[in-house]
Amino acid sequence: MSFQIDWTRVVRVALLMFVIGSSAVAVADEPVHRTGSGAVVTQASATASALAPSNAINLAYKFHSGMFAHYAGTSRVQYKSQLDPEHIYVSQQSNDIWTRFRVVTVDESGLALIEPVIERTQMAARMHDKPPVFFDSSSKTEPEPEFRAIRDAIGKPIARFQVAPNGKLVKAIVIDPNAPVSLRMSAEKLETRFQYLPILPDHPVAVGDKWREEFTVDTINEGLKEPMPMRRIFELSGVANGIAIIKFKTLTMKPISDPDVEKQLIQQTPTGTIQFDIERGLVRSYVSNVNKTAINALGNQTLLQVVGESTEKLVTANGLDVSAAITSPK
């Protein structure tokens, strides 16, 4: 494994996901992309909502021109590879990131143009027995070469995203003239790895209702690109004090017979919990977990395990937890 900069991670700033398949330390050499996202509410959900309208609620992002939101995110991942019974290699990665989101404009149809800016980040990686590498964007010390691209992105808007009220990405626009060509191409194709907001249902839902997001992940199989159909299922599991609790899980939609493909998808099926502020129309917090093991992914009789957790939390401009700010005595 080699240390790599994931420009998608830098741009979308991981507002809400466990950087599905796109951590700074890559497990596979091949790039993994997500394409063709969409949201569908299941028939059972629609029926349930129709039968119990008094218990149904509207879940939608409420964007306002000039609005700012600040998030603090963490990501902790451990990779364990076993090449034989006597050789086990463990690598670890951690990221902490503080991000500011600005709503530039909102048009008459409710489409919002959102501009994320990374305010600060701390990153660390340890590759088995090699010395650990660290990066803190607030440090005056010259960073290692692999971190310079991230350092140069701090405090600068790199891209803007047009987003619908249900969270669906409509358009991605790279505005940094120094951004890599590969990033511009990904934005033009509207690859849904830029889909950083959870998809919300387009009609009222009641507790127990489910809706889903359909997308594909491009994998490399015997040198050829092979799309894997994926499904993310959301469920409104509860509502308390104006906060909707949403559980989600991610599934592959066809069998995987190739261990190498399984390796590429090992971080693509997270589960997690979202807390959504119904009145304010924004995500309060997001927790995503992955714990997957792939057999023979690194060759015959080998094992690859990935265990990780990613969190995103709404904070005040000075980094204070919003929930703490609300409950703290004056």
Q: What is the mean pLDDT of residues 236-262?
A: 94
Q: Bigger pLDDT: 2 or 202?
A: 202
> Which pLDDT score is estimated for 91?
93
Count of domains forming the chain: 1
Q: 112-127 and 133-136: which strand pairing?
A: antiparallel
In a domain, 86, yes or no: yes
Q: Is the pLDDT of residue 26 over 70?
A: no
CATH no. for residue 150? 2.30.230
Q: 65 lies in a domain?
A: yes
155 occurs within a structural domain: yes
Cα–Cα distance measured from residue 86 to residue 56, given in angstroms and rounded to the nearest whole number: 56
Which residue do the tokens 């626009």 mark?
173
2 within some domain:
no
Task: Say whether pTM exceeds 0.75.
Answer: yes
pLDDT band at 143 (very low <50, low <70, confident <90, very high): confident
- Give the domain extent around 37: 7-327
Whether 5 shows a pLDDT value over 50: the answer reads no
Q: Where are the alpha helices (DSSP H) in the chain?
A: 7-12, 43-51, 148-153, 181-189, 259-264, 322-327
Reported as a pLDDT band with limits 50, 70 and 90, residue 286 is: very high
Classify residue 1: in a domain, yes or no: no
pLDDT band at residue 38 using 50, 70 and 90 as cut-offs:
low
